Amino acid sequence: MQQDLQPLIEHLIELRSRLVRAVLLMVVAFCLLFNWAGDLYHLLAMPMLKAMKVGSQMIATDVTSSFFVPMKVAGMVAFLLTLPHTLYQAWAFVAPGLYQHEKRLILPLIISSLVLFLVGMAFAYFLVFPVVFGFMTGVTPEGVAMMTDIDKYLSFVLGMFLAFGATFETPVIVMVLVRMGIVTVAKLREARPYVIVGAFVIAAVVTPPDVLSQVMLAVPLWLLFELGVVLAAWLMVPKQAENTEASG
């Protein structure tokens, strides 16, 4: 019984050590960014600040917001900066238990997922935010001063980052579904009209009410789905060849 538990205990010890390494590096990164927390928030708020009318400013309605909101931003940046190291620790833990063909598949998926998520965040920051905030400030009634609370602004931005980051994961999700045999490329092509409608429904739910920002989420979602279908079809060719060789 004790011999059976020994491998499990060793795995748990290794998991703990890798989690500690990941958390420690994140804490170190946060400490290094602490002095620049205000600058990081200013950079995050830049799209909103540029769109606001002259004389308008952001406000902190909570007593502690002026301190904790920049700290949250610094923590988010520290998490993103150390995410490759965190993913490496996770990969190093699970890799010994994987077959060689699983390693060849999973590692590229992890890397591409991270890159696509960051690209989705950059797309939201550089392209979507200026449009959304420009629209919001443009429809502000005359005589009304638009002064956004910094905590609510952070919540809005994080939600948009998650929405667009998840949207840009579409090609990876499509390829995984096809690779696992859950759905075929032909079925995905047949479902194209429903995907387009679903993309606009999702965009209407997660974005502000202006049509332009909804289109800026729905169209990339649809195009990324098409990219995923193309890549999945290309990915299935070598797999079919492997099956043919195995059966022969």
What is the tens place of the pLDDT at every residue in 184-240? Answer: 999 999 999 999 999 999 998 888 777 888 899 999 999 999 999 998 888 776 555
User: What is the Cα Rg of the chain in Å?
Assistant: 23
Question: What's the pTM?
Answer: 0.87
Average pLDDT, the chain: 88
Q: Give the torsion through C-alpha atoms of 112, 117, 122, 128, to 10 deg.
A: 130
Apex CA 187: angle with CA 185 and CA 192, to 5°? 95
The stretch 155-178 carries a mean pLDDT of: 93
pLDDT of residue 164: 94
CA 4 to chain centre: 40
Q: Using one digit for the tens of pLDDT, what is the confidence trace for 107-144? A: 888 899 999 999 999 999 999 999 889 888 888 787 77
pLDDT of residue 241: 46
